Structure 1
């Protein structure tokens, strides 16, 4: 399924644009805040090709997609007005659980910054490595340029946060940025550094260092949301665009410097001091707890609540120990996925676990967690144990980070400094230990030699003894590789055939159930009684029609028998509109079979054998992995 089609189907299944208060994305998931949760079909979304899973937590409906999430998100914005509007009201916000509102707020503010946050942190770390090895001079131009590239994001962090916070608080984003700019204005920053007294209308200003800070600007934008709302209501629309921003700046800049800023600065110092007090009681215990719990928090999207603490630690102390506790937890999930890959004989699980291990090394654990470790249960728990041990080792050495970034093998440089060896040791201990524990104790597979012999004999089954998928339409047969769509032609969607239909009718290819009848009526998913999964996509890019020209006679969950009429479509109309009517018929769980044998005929009538499935079905595979 292409990204545009996936975005359209997700939009449909969450209840449409009218049901979305807000949506944004992080590294692997789109996070929806919905008006009516009951209007969203979680199981339907999870069944979409391209969706890993759906998680509901922190008041958010989170659709986990993986590395392509930003592309799907962009397609979603193209077909909606969500980037410029929101249906959320203050009354609706008040109805939400306070904790859910907090998690939604923090993740909404920090998620859009994730990519540049990680890149800037990595660059700062690399710069530190170059200096520590004496490869560049800290007083030279090369260092200054690289330092500016890596440090600019963190120095001007209040401006970035002002922009994303304004979106969450429904404030004019440029007004919020102007407020942030005033906090780090050079004259005021110089006055603070040199100890020069500043007053406003004879009221002394308590100056502070606001560059790289987190809490002051977020609190200031929150206050700004009420001030701007007041003036928008006060002034007539003919002068509103001029006078509302004018009075907001006149009031908010002094108010922030005199009241909001000092309060927020005190809160920042208190949070940092409180964290340090807990950490110093027992760094090892702190590392054990965070190493064990980090991935649990990630599953529910609650880890965002700790991101401000990490950034605040860096702002106050220059380094952050919390990041060093959580890196081994990421490595442990990757190690557990590797352990599954080394042990399992299940082709489907092997195909999932190796890529999951690789992406885990680069800091993205959703494929490992949702596709492998959590699915098998015990490997996830063993990875949490390994993560705890790795986190304890890292904390025992006093490891810390000079920036916040995705925890991966690429971001080791941000931990250069005191305790760096401990972090590296904790990371690889967690990775290797999780791999070994998973291999030894993670799951059991049938090791009966007789069963292995039987499985090998299944490969030589006569075609007629396999599970048969009949042709759902009449027309010319093509190999999937000949389909003008990379997703199908590459085999990424599964194995099968394609048909160029000669009539506009689609019939049931199997005895079983309709797993998914797409709202646009152009695609259908079926599941056979023995576990085979069949996807039929009428034409290419036909999702753009929104169902026009299609008539569907089934809905999700209906039982069908081979030959039942599923849908009709206006073949001539599709061709006149320029659509390629080639219809892929693919077995999406082909990896669960020893062979998927497409029919060799060049033309098929509906009801004739199209694909034969030989070997273990999905049901049999599930029996083998517990």
Structure 2
């Protein structure tokens, strides 16, 4: 095993696995990941690892701060992860079929969780405003609010198509168009005649059909790219993909889903005639699966026929309690978990669940933790069985979740029906909450943050004075807009906002590193101090533009020698801060690192900047300000 192999392996695992890595670069101190979903990365676990200084999430990047030896760690991560600059890696571990299904569904759904939560809550608020009489269902405000809340769900195939395309390594906007075609009003839910055969399918609010179609489209797109000439590839590949996949999907997948729904509906009707209790258990326990696979709409449509005629039906009643079982599980996880990211997902998910919108709870919280999802299904089945035992019926279409209950109150026995509803609520919520609270455990992480494993020089024998490498206004390190520097994770020092673009050597030293993007220079002074000069914030993204470096690695320089010239005005116009940290990365080898001037003073290049007190020295007469103050 190489020196950094285990570190690289652990980093890949904790950023969510190779399948979660879109891209990876590095700067002079940190690995800069682009992840599909930062929410599944184990940030706390990474921070607690030996060899990791800290983790920063900035500028659209997931940054794992390593220290001076980041090039070696980067190379090992690329080797261990079998990553390259153009392709994503294979999954980090061999998964079972069930694990692959969950990974696929979660990976497709997770990016849409926030808007799903928002949509569910908005729909619930709209119903509250209508029920309280503040709005009517005919008012423009209610219609607009309902449309905003419903848009994410009605047009869900568009969202899912985009996310699924990314998951299947296909052009994302091609997946989006496939989803958009499925919900186009001219073909959605209308009769279409193909070669003498009639097809009618409705895809709004569905999930599985567009996933299957994108799964078929992805290899087709890749194959077309290999056989179509480059001169026409740009438009012919997406055109042929759409022309082939959408008709096949519309004519085969939709009718198949409708057939499955019809069989299920007829089976449930027969089961209800035989045993309402058993039918309620089956409906309550499987409803979330039916919704996930998009085969539930036939049941809803069948139930609407008697309701439209003013007759009650028992077909919808058992499924109302499922959202409460799911919500109870999420509340238990929210209360028990110490994972801040999970709690941040769970809070809006259970609020949305109260209003009957459980997709955020399912895909963001319980489905990735299969035991919790099973508990919610069992809770829904228990409540559905009790609902069947009590003979509850739906008399009118209501809202979802809490607002579905008024639709179950009859005019003759509203009090009895309300009592029955309370019993079903209790059966759905209490066992689900208790089981989830008792059985849920956070994934184990190591508490605390260890010191960074950064190679350092031997204990030093004398003090070192560093001169300022630039002219400008000093800035306390704690005020730098980068947590790794501000928290001292990379070492103590100071920063400055330069007034000109000349950068000089802070001491007699040997150049250790000149980063390819020219935004950072590392030196080791003749006395053993390791110094990092980081030119600006996030300037790595400029890829060397506006930087002119005058030295190279292993070159020896004298204090005051010109290291670089930079165009600070051009960099600022490009939207980047030029605040430049100067830190001693082997701070642990010194008793103290002391600033010669206060943090907001003006300084000229060449003037004394920092004094590094060696361990065998007594810092007795120091009239300067300690950097840590």
TM-score by length of 1: 0.49
The structure with the greater share of residues assigned to helix is 1
Rg larger for: 2
